[in-house]
Amino acid sequence: MKVVRAEIIAIGDELLYGQIVDTNSHWISQELDLMGVKVVRKTTVGDDRKDVLAAFESAEKRADIVLITGGLGPTKDDLTKPLLAEFFGCDIIEFPEAVKAVSEYFIRRGREMTPLNILQGHLPACCTYIPNEVGTAPGMWFERNGTFWMSMPGVPHEMKKLIKDFVLPKLPEIFPLPVIHHKVIKTVGIGESWLADLISDWETALPSSIRLAYLPSLGHVKLRLTGFGSSKESLEKAIDEQIDTVMPLIEKYVYGFNSETLETAIAKLLKAEKKTIALAESCSGGYISHLITSVPGSSAYYQGGIIPYHNQFKNKILGVSNETLSKFGAVSEETVREMATGVRKLFNSDFGLASSGIAGPDGGSEEKPVGTVWIACAMNGRVETKKLQLTQDRMLNIQLTGVAVLNMLRICISQK
Amino acid sequence: MKVVRAEIIAIGDELLYGQIVDTNSHWISQELDLMGVKVVRKTTVGDDRKDVLAAFESAEKRADIVLITGGLGPTKDDLTKPLLAEFFGCDIIEFPEAVKAVSEYFIRRGREMTPLNILQGHLPACCTYIPNEVGTAPGMWFERNGTFWMSMPGVPHEMKKLIKDFVLPKLPEIFPLPVIHHKVIKTVGIGESWLADLISDWETALPSSIRLAYLPSLGHVKLRLTGFGSSKESLEKAIDEQIDTVMPLIEKYVYGFNSETLETAIAKLLKAEKKTIALAESCSGGYISHLITSVPGSSAYYQGGIIPYHNQFKNKILGVSNETLSKFGAVSEETVREMATGVRKLFNSDFGLASSGIAGPDGGSEEKPVGTVWIACAMNGRVETKKLQLTQDRMLNIQLTGVAVLNMLRICISQK
């Protein structure tokens, strides 16, 4: 099967001068990759006639499909539409359906339409008009010499809707694409190379129709299985069988599949078990509570938290004994154990979690260097504790403490 | 003065398949823009001989300087070095200085060097070797037909160091660049169009040698002044004079200049006044404490925080009266006032801050829809309160509450 080659062209001065980050191209790449279309080039050019036309010309020579974002605003700076008309050799004419859509968009929002906006319904005669339901600049579809073209606004949610509603369903109609099925296994608490060691026999034995990718991020590694074939059902079955085979080797590191996050996985576990949590965050300074409370509905299991940044409050609010604090210090197994027990009692929760450490850049010592962190999880009858030796970077230490505490909680709930 | 045109070429399959976001190109664009060099094109290509060579060839026709990132790893996939040798028509030879630097890099880290790593010190004979002090892939500098080329590793901190240490100082030596000076005014609590209205007379009267850009972000607007001229001192003076003129119009919205953030501005104010703070975060769920404690040294003024996610803890820990809670509800001026007063007392701090609201997506009512948030700042003798009517989006509501609380704190400290 011939590889379908795509190119992405992003148009706009603001992308070249570093005023905004082009997140569109990255998102489009991911979506096309999931469909089995190969992106071979991304080009960013400014609002300049010669540069834009040069990008169009060279893309046409190489690509099966070209996706263009940006340069479709109503003002004179925005050149994409006239340059597409010039490139394809046709006039810009009124598309009554497009004018109607733009004016309805303004009526719906109770806003005044300017003459410039009406012109947004005027398009190159040689394009197919693709309605944009969430904005005023229409999508435009072109075909010439076997290459397909889609022009879209640069506003991310408008572009995404046009890609999802129109381009992705169109691809299998115009190209002979393989049927593709992906499933992502989410792991935490194990590094990429250790994970690779654990599953190397399984990986070697994978059939050639299933590919494996390791996608590491802070404290996490995702395993993406991609199957290529001709039937969606048989691919799903084949991938699920492979997952069944590998799971016993990695089960304790797996918190979910596909779009699951560690926070939503914990939400599910806590809701299923009808359990609640509370947090005492010293070095993590509220970050873990923020992660947990970012999940809609977290009030069902999150009772509350304490950020006792100074020793006196570890004692006064959480009941950590002054003897423990003076004998072992704030960053110690003993202190973090009493913090976890104390916060569990204060909030009357099933689990009490605690962190205490030296985030840096200051405050380190020979015995307890920057990056030394103790974490704990108190539950009915016992307290788990763990020492982490992290990095020199304050923000990284806060984030890695977050991953470690959430993972400890996940394991503690699962063991109940 | 002729405009200096730059192009950026990023090389790597992983950039095309959406596995990683190319943050390098954006960062390079910003740095070049600050130097008065105009980026006219960014291109991303995969690890493919034909595609890379085509990108080199067309860049040479257009650009004064070409910056290449990626494709310099020790494995066979990485093609940048052999393709640069092919493009410039020279052999790859041993650069003893480069081999020495690579081996010293490994010795410093106590790591084993492989034969592949030694080859990283072999470079195209026609390049100038540029040492990479923080990695193993050297920088390479080329010149041909009036175009300059710099090839760098794709690892962001290695690339950034090569740009800062070598490329940026080199630019004024090889190109007739204008002297440029930037200063950014940071504002909060006022929208872009209101700000533009306030300063429109001043903006109109700006001399042509000074340009103004509005850079909006969540709850903030940055005003960037850029001066072009021939002497750095006179530019600095001219820009500072303009800032002196505009400041009386916008003073109450300005929290700092250049790289200052709202969190670091507050840190400065609190340290100067020797004051302390404590937070009671309900709907913001620890997010504001996280922002504050992300600043190194925040333990000097941050006493601690309480996240009382349920009413019983607003009463039990913060002392909000049950009568207030039942009469006015958790999301009310009365409750947030008692939360701020209570947390100030509990942590014995100069300022007590509080948030309570309906972050969404659930929990809204006719009277108090999703996005209704009350915030408060308690200090010696009085309590400031404010009602916010935010969005339907949970994460946005949390972030905007954060900006509003920090800004309220900033104003309260300044008024002392």
CATH value at residue B205:
3.30.70.2860
Provide φ and ψ at A70, rounded to 5°.
90, 170
CATH value at residue B11:
3.40.980.10
Residue-wise pLDDT tens digits, B145-202:
999 999 999 989 899 999 999 999 999 999 988 888 889 999 999 988 889 889 999 9
Cα B155 → chain centroid: 18
- The verdict on B251 and B129 lying in the same domain is no
Q: How far apart are CA A84 and CA A124, in angstroms?
A: 7
- The verdict on B214 and B300 lying in the same domain is no
Contact (CB, 8 A) for B187 and B223: yes
Q: How far apart are CA A389 and CA A368, in angstroms?
A: 9
- The verdict on A243 and A273 lying in the same domain is no
Which amino acid appears at position A390 of this protein? L
In DSSP notation, A343-391 reads HHHHTT-SEEEEEEE--SSS---SSS-TTEEEEEEEETTEEEEEEEE--
- The verdict on B162 and B295 lying in the same domain is no
CATH value at residue A336:
3.90.950.20
Contact between chains at A307 and B310 (C-beta distance less than 8 A)? no
Nearest CA distance, B371 vs chain A (angstrom): 14
Contact between chains at B293 and A307 (C-beta distance less than 8 A)? yes
- The verdict on A237 and A282 lying in the same domain is no
pLDDT by residue for chain A (416 residues), tens only, comes to: 688 999 999 998 888 887 778 889 999 999 998 888 999 999 999 989 999 999 999 999 999 999 999 988 776 667 999 999 999 999 999 999 999 999 998 888 777 777 778 889 999 999 999 999 888 899 999 999 999 999 999 989 899 999 999 999 999 999 988 888 889 999 999 988 889 889 999 999 999 999 898 887 888 999 999 898 888 899 999 999 999 999 999 999 999 999 899 999 999 999 999 999 999 999 999 999 999 999 999 999 999 999 999 999 999 999 999 999 999 999 999 999 999 999 999 999 999 999 999 999 999 999 999 999 999 999 999 999 999 999 888 999 999 999 999 999 999 999 86
Region for residue B69 given its phi and psi (left: phi exceeds 0; alpha: psi -120 to 50; beta: otherwise): beta
Domain endpoint, select from B231, B257, B283: B257
Return the H-helix or E-strand segment holding A227. Answer: strand A220-229
- The verdict on A252 and A298 lying in the same domain is no
Contact between chains at A299 and B308 (C-beta distance less than 8 A)? no
Domain count within chain B: 3
Domain endpoint, select from A149, A174, A199: A174
Contact (CB, 8 A) for B62 and B8: no
Return the H-helix or E-strand segment holding A65. Answer: strand A65-69
Q: What is the ipTM of this complex?
A: 0.84
Pick A313's closest partner by Cβ from B15, B347, B398: B347
Between positions 244 and 303 of A, the ones with CB within 8 A of B are 279, 281, 285-290, 292-294, 296-299, 302-303
- The verdict on B167 and B20 lying in the same domain is yes
Contact between chains at A285 and B292 (C-beta distance less than 8 A)? yes
B chain contacts of residue A342, beta-carbon cutoff 8 Å:
none
Q: What is the pLDDT of residue B415?
A: 86
Return the H-helix or E-strand segment holding A284. Answer: none
Nearest CA distance, A97 vs chain B (angstrom): 32
Q: Is A337 helix (H, G, I), strand (E, B) or coil?
A: helix
Q: Is A159 helix (H, G, I), strand (E, B) or coil?
A: helix
Residue-wise pLDDT tens digits, B242-301:
999 999 999 999 999 998 999 999 999 999 999 999 999 999 999 999 999 999 999 999
Range B24-30, long-range pairs (CB < 8 A, 24+ positions): B24/B69, B24/B70, B24/B154, B24/B156, B24/B159, B25/A44, B25/B69, B26/A18, B26/A21, B26/A22, B27/A18, B27/B156, B27/B160, B28/A18, B28/B67, B28/B69, B28/B159, B28/B163, B29/A15, B29/A16, B29/A17, B29/A18, B30/A17, B30/A18
Tell me the pTM.
0.85
- The verdict on B211 and B95 lying in the same domain is no
Which amino acid appears at position A400 of this protein? L
Q: Which domain holds residue B94?
A: 5-174
- The verdict on B239 and B305 lying in the same domain is no
Residue-wise pLDDT tens digits, A260-301:
999 999 999 999 999 999 999 999 999 999 999 999 999 999
A chain contacts of residue B299, beta-carbon cutoff 8 Å:
309-310
Contact (CB, 8 A) for A266 and A273: no
Strands A179-188 and A220-229: antiparallel
- The verdict on B272 and B399 lying in the same domain is yes
Domain endpoint, select from A193, A223, A257: A257
Provide φ and ψ at A300, rounded to 5°.
-70, -25
Contact between chains at A18 and B26 (C-beta distance less than 8 A)? yes
Does the CB of B48 have a partner CB in chain A at under 8 Å?
A: yes
Residue A92 CB coordination number (10 Å): 16
Contact between chains at B21 and A26 (C-beta distance less than 8 A)? yes
Residue B88 CB coordination number (10 Å): 17
- The verdict on B16 and B143 lying in the same domain is yes
| Residue closest to B340 by CA, chosen among B356, B328, B326 | B356
- The verdict on B351 and B292 lying in the same domain is yes
Q: What is the pLDDT of residue A277?
A: 98
